């Protein structure tokens, strides 16, 4: 189990690592690394290999919003059925069950604020189990999936206030 954890942590940091590189980094024998990866891909432990794109630098602006959704839990299924209906929409990039005032937190992507507003008002809000939504538009991404955007490598200090 310890070797699996080492392999998973290496791949989570950089999905482009070859099994040979993972073996070098972790000290786990190459044959075991390959076996761990193959098994994890097959059983769904490794769900996806992902690249994080800074779309603003690529010249392609995307609008992101975090939508909080208050729902009535369904008998026998709780929040699962409504969450499934929501995560099937292509606009919903991530869907989480959360504690607090709202039950679900949904990360939505669109081309414009209007597109996201239409999605929320025409797809999410009218669902029978949905009691309310709150939409927070993401104004700037500083860090995503552990990657800092626009980091110049210089440590920054806060100014002194007199």
pTM above 0.85, yes or no: no
Angle between helices 2-13 and 19-26 (to 10 degrees): 120
How is the beta sheet containing 63-71 ordered, strand by strand? 92-97, 104-110, 63-71, 130-138
For the cut 90, the answer to whether the pLDDT of residue 120 exceeds it is: yes
Residue 107 pairs with which residues in a beta bridge? 66, 94
Q: Count other C-beta atoms under 10 Å from residue 72's C-beta.
A: 12
CATH, range 2-43: 1.10.10
53-106: per-residue pLDDT in tens?
Answer: 888 788 888 899 999 999 999 899 999 999 999 999 999 999 999 999 999 999
Alpha-carbon distance 53 to 147, whole Å? 10
Q: Which pLDDT band, with edges at 50, 70 and 90, does 150 fall under? A: confident
Query: 3.40.50.2000, 3.90.1150.10, 3.30.70.120, 3.30.70.920: which CATH number matches 63-140?
Result: 3.30.70.920
100 near 38, Cβ under 8 Å?
Answer: no
pLDDT at 158 over 60: no
Work out the pLDDT band at 112, boundaries 50, 70, 90. Answer: very high
For range 15-22, the mean pLDDT? 93
Using the predicted structure, report yes or no on whether residue 159 has a pLDDT greater than 90. no
Residue 10 main-chain phi, psi, to 5 deg = -65, -45
């Amino acid at each position: 189990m310890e070797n699996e954890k080492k392999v998973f942590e290496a791949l989570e940091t950089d999905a482009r690592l070859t099994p040979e590189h993972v073996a070098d980094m972790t000290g786990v024998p190459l044959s075991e690394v390959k076996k761990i990866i193959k098994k994890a891909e097959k059983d769904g432990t490794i769900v996806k290999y992902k690249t994080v794109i800074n779309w603003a630098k690529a010249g392609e602006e995307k609008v992101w919003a975090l939508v909080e959704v208050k729902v009535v839990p369904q008998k026998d299924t709780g929040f699962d059925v409504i969450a499934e209906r929501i995560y099937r929409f292509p606009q919903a990039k991530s869907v989480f069950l959360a504690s607090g005032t709202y039950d679900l937190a949904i990360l939505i992507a669109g081309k414009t604020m209007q597109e996201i507003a239409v999605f929320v008002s025409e797809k999410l809000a009218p669902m029978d189990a949905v009691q309310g939504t709150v939409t927070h538009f993401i104004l700037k991404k500083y860090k995503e999936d552990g990657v800092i955007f626009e980091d110049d490598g210089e440590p920054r200090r806060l100014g002194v206030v007199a």
